[in-house]
Amino acid sequence: MTETTNNHPCHQADYDVIIIGAGIVGSMIARELSKYNGRFALIEKEPFSGFGVSKANPSMLHSPLMFPSGLLRIKLACNAAARYKKLAGELDVTFKEVDEIFLAFDTNQMAKLEAAKAWADENQVSAGHKIVGPDKIRAIEPQVSKKAIGALYGKNVSGGIYATEWTFALTENAVQNGLDLYLNSTVTGIKRVSDFNYEVCTPAGRFKTRYIINAAGLFVDGIAKMVGDTDLQLILTKGTMVILDKSVSNLVHNMIYGTFGREHSELITPTAHGNLLIGLGYFVPPKHKNDTAVSREKLAEVFKMGQKLVPAISEKDIITAFAGIRTENNMAAGGDFYIDHSKHAPGVIHAAVGSPGLTAAPAIAEYIVTLLSDAGLTLAENKKFKPSRIGWRRFEPASAAERAELIAANPKYGHLVCRCEQVTEAEVLEAIYRGADTMDAVKHTTRAGMGRCQGGFCGISVLNYLADTLGVMPSRVTKKGSGSHQITGSGRHV
């Protein structure tokens, strides 16, 4: 912690560019910028990257067919699956290729799908989508409702990631290439010294920078106000998602939509790690920006929508549910992204990104770098840039021979910590060594605690590994940062 004087943060460092927000968009920008020479920093108020909006969404890539309005987001969402597949190889993270199926249950819906295909063909954003009949639907997805009369089918156009795993990998690779990462660093103010000369204030320190990228997600409007852009406002809605046990993962192999629009969405899809996810129901306004509560009524609504698409799913297979907050902005029509230079503060770029922000994130990062160049930032190639980041070996997907090899090389692979997700002691310790210092950080990087029992079996073990590795009392270990301590008491182990 940087020393402070009279409660005013002391100066810490000077940068060319500071990115505010380490969600999937901010992390992609950080990694993209690290390809160039310069002094770059990423500042995040949470204790771990991806702990905001990015964590609470389906983490599935969408084709532009889902969002036929908004020229910028259509452009940036194109060819997302190919971009993510390439990045997955470089960053050693999970990417699951899936196809995309839009179901029709009556002639009106069928007509809408035919119109959507015609629009996609005309605007050259189709990736080979075609209209198929009931027999083809059942051949692709045998468990889909027999009431479906047709579908719009896109092959190799989508994919699944796990957003927090990706933000961790992206920021780790960016740091390897010279970027400075500041977590637990809420931006409390921005002082404009002059054009292209700012001071970003946090409780821990004050940073000088020439350029600011405002990628603060739900809080992008608050950061905008700090530099005088008071006209940017967000429109918030909330969707609910249900996760099913892996035992029923064989029921669905691709991303399946029923009806969808700006008011609601009917979706059932495999996740990157093999569960099935159902979402998102009818969107409702959240009470506030931290309102991620799930009501019994909303849970029932979403599950009913899922059964409409795949009748074989059962309530007994639900292991958890969560809600995520979606954003639109008042600056761009048709739900489009607003990514532009500040109207009042030269050197500041705002990225008010709603759906499909995760899909478009790689292209958004490239677009932001172009805007920085347009604003006068000299970008010379970082010849020492290393695109590859090595993760750690995962026990669960390994073959029997590979598991034996892992255990022979490191006996800690022979100790299962999380039985549900087959996560070993070696993986938990590696995640902690590399920066996962809360229960949720370990959970979202290793999946320990994400299975059927939701941490009932492995939670105490993970807590003690954190305490031992970090050198703190178990009572100091938190779930997700300040104010979320897991236990009270003075015992060394529990």
Catalytic residues: 62
Interatomic CA distance for residues 149 and 140, integer angstroms: 14
Interatomic CA distance for residues 402 and 406, integer angstroms: 6
**Checking DSSP bridges between strand 197-202 and strand 96-104, what pairing results, if any?**
unpaired
Helices (H) and strands (E) in the chain, counts: 13, 20
Place of tokens 């003690």: 464
DSSP H helices in 123-248: 134-140, 163-176, 220-226
Place of tokens 């320990």: 448
Q: What is the DSSP letter of 120?
A: H
Interatomic CA distance for residues 318 and 314, integer angstroms: 8
Q: How many CA atoms lie within 13 A of 70 on its CB side?
A: 29
SS3 81: helix
Interatomic CA distance for residues 352 and 332, integer angstroms: 9
- E strand or H helix at 370, and its extent? helix 357-374
Q: What is the DSSP letter of 7?
A: T
Interatomic CA distance for residues 106 and 101, integer angstroms: 15
